[in-house]
Structure 1
Amino acid sequence: MPNYFLAVNHDENGAAEMAEMTMEQMQPIFEAVDAFNTELQEQGAWVFAGGLQTHDATTVVDNTGDAAVVTDGPFSESKEYLGGFWIIEAADLDAALEWAKLGSKACQGKVEVRPFQAEG
């Protein structure tokens, strides 16, 4: 069965709003994401998932030249950044999109769906 990357994207406005939320306000989102994770696991679609630190915790390594260059921060300017992800198994893109709809609802954010490259 194919694997799909479900990316939870954030932007600066959303990050600022989330930073102002209390734990009491965040709790329903945490619970909804936990329920979504449980459903993925129970349905056999779960492979792996994780939340990421904010984009300012990024370190970029470029070893394409004569020497490796290590820099702090994101490589490029972007309106959105990756905040977390799920790796799932789904029968096809349509099934992955259905999971993404549920994930988006749970985390209250946009979810990008990207298929993995076929093996072999």
Structure 2
Amino acid sequence: MKYVMFVVHEEDATDADHASAPDVEAWFAEMRDRGTYVSGTRLHERETATTIRVRGGEMVVSDGPFTEAKEWVAGFAVLECADLDEAIEVASKNPAAHYGRVEVRPIHSSDTFE
């Protein structure tokens, strides 16, 4: 089953949190060797976000992220895991789990929206 893993940056992480995190390149190497890492990428900083809403037939475009928070989605990875337990185990080894947080969410099996 495929999962998306959101990597969330938290500004209140300490130097000790960063120092305790495993090496990100080691994480990628292990997950590629295991066959669980499918794809992913970093995202530009939250200040580059554009939010689009349509309300009452009118489009509203805003600069910046949709929430005012000290945390923001910094990237994502698509994982191929046997089940949620494996997705959690993979995510727990990602460095961002030490100084931010990671969220895993199953991807629908349908390739198209209907």
| Percent of matched pairs sharing the same residue | 36
- Measure the CA separation in 2 of the matches of 1:12 and 1:96: 25
Question: What TM-score results when the alignment is normalised by the length of structure 1?
Answer: 0.71
- Asked whether the equivalents of residues 4 and 79 of structure 2 are also in contact (C-alpha less than 8 Å), the reply is yes
Kindly provide the amino acid, as one letter, of the partner of residue 62 in structure 1: R
Runs of 4+ in 1 over 2 A off after TM superposition: 11-14, 61-70, 76-80, 104-109, 117-120
Q: Residue 8 in 1 paired to residue 4 in 2? A: no
Listed as ranges, the gaps of 5+ residues in structure 2 are none
| 2:61 counterpart residue number | 70
* TM superposition shift of 1:69: 2.9
Q: 1:68/1:103 Cα in 2 relative to 1: closer, same or farther (>3 Å)?
A: same
Which structure has more helix as a fraction of its residues?
1
TM-score, normalised on structure 2?
Answer: 0.75
The whole-number CA distance in structure 2 between the counterparts of 1:60 and 1:37 is 31
Task: Supply the distance in 1 between the matched residues of 2:29 and 2:98 (Cα, whole angstroms).
Answer: 14
* SS of structure 2 residue aligned to 1:76: coil
User: What RMSD over aligned residues (CA atoms) do the two structures have, in Å?
Assistant: 2.9
Q: 1:65 to 1:12 in 2, by over 3 A?
A: farther
Please identify which structure carries the higher strand content.
2
Indicate the SS of the match to 1:49: strand
Rounded Cα–Cα distance in structure 1 between residues aligned with 2:55 and 2:36: 36
Q: Which amino acid aligns with 2:11?
A: E
